Structure 1
Amino acid sequence: MGLMDELRSRNFSLYGQWGGIVSIILLIVLGAISVAGNIPFAIIGWIFAFILFFVEVPLCMKVCPTSPKFDTFVSHFENAYLRAALYLGMGVIMLLSNTVSTTILNLPAVILVMAGVCYLIAAVKQQPHASSKILGGTGVDNVV
């Protein structure tokens, strides 16, 4: 199954995962662009991107050496409700960057909120968790 099959699966946890991947990229790039004007939120964005990278890319947990404490922290987010809370919380925190100055960090904040909403929909619909095969996950073969 390829990316198009995953997009057609109507599994909102996959949509949330892809929203998370897009937000990771945006947090890193736009954080670097806005670091001069908004240092605290650029650093917070990089920290969020680091955490989301391990939450969303299953291959990283297998390849990268991490501590058991960090592994336990990341494993808590296998539940769609907790992932939704994580994303919505991170999105709200990034939206607070407007209190310091108007920044470009609103774009990843909106994507984080949208990914959180996708995970919330997946949780309410009781869809099984799936992660993209492209990123080292199980794909939708096991859940469809």
Structure 2
Amino acid sequence: MSLGEEFRLRNFSIYGQWTGVLALILCLALGIANIFSFHVVRIIFSVLCLISAFVILFIEVPFLLRICPTSSTFDAFIRRFTTNWMRAGMYTVLSAIQWASLCSGASSLIAAAVVLIIAAIFYALAGLKSQEFVGSKTLGGQGVVQMIV
């Protein structure tokens, strides 16, 4: 199944997963960019943004759990986010953390917060419509993980 066919499924979990990948890229870039500010609170939030990027990476690209050496507790933590509702909750928490960065003044971390909340909305819509989570094959969804094992 090609990427275009996946988007034509109209399953909101696919949209949430790809929005999550966009959030991953933004969190990584903005976390690095804001870590060089001279405001201590903003540096803390940029480090949290970088941590969010790595958590999202392992959640949205599942075959990385098979090829990267991680601890069993980290694997168990990541495997908790297999449903649309759990992912919506996780993205909401990550977005709230970045919205809290406003206490240090306006910064580009707000862009990460907006994209994270959009991903949460997509996953919540998938949950509300009772759509089963469908992972993109491009990102290592069904089929790719079994080929690696």
TM-score (norm 1): 0.92
SS of the residue 1:129 aligns to: coil
Deviations 1:121-141 (A, max 9, x none): 1111111111111111128xx
CA RMSD after TM alignment:
1.1
* Count of residue correspondences: 139
SS of the residue 1:36 aligns to: coil
Q: 1:113 aligns with which of 117, 122, 125?
A: 117
* 2:15 equivalent to 1:15: yes
Q: Within 5 Å, which residues of 2 pair with 1:37-76?
A: 37=37, 38-76=42-80
Unpaired runs of at least 5, structure 1: 140-144
C-alpha distance in 2 between matches for 1:97 and 1:26 = 15
* Structure 2 equivalent of residue 6 of structure 1: 6
C-alpha distance in 2 between matches for 1:6 and 1:92 = 29
* Structure 2 equivalent of residue 82 of structure 1: 86
SS of the residue 2:80 aligns to: helix
* Structure 1 equivalent of residue 147 of structure 2: none
* Structure 2 equivalent of residue 91 of structure 1: 95
* Structure 2 equivalent of residue 28 of structure 1: 28
In the TM superposition, residue 98 of structure 1 has moved relative to its aligned partner by: 1.0
> Which amino acid is the alignment partner of residue 136 of structure 1?
G
SS of the residue 1:58 aligns to: coil
Q: 1:128 aligns with which of 108, 119, 132?
A: 132
SS of the residue 2:36 aligns to: coil
Unpaired runs of at least 5, structure 2: 144-149
In the TM superposition, residue 106 of structure 1 has moved relative to its aligned partner by: 0.8
SS of the residue 2:49 aligns to: helix
In the TM superposition, residue 5 of structure 1 has moved relative to its aligned partner by: 1.0
In the TM superposition, residue 36 of structure 1 has moved relative to its aligned partner by: 2.1
In the TM superposition, residue 92 of structure 1 has moved relative to its aligned partner by: 1.1
Runs of 4+ in 1 over 2 A off after TM superposition: none
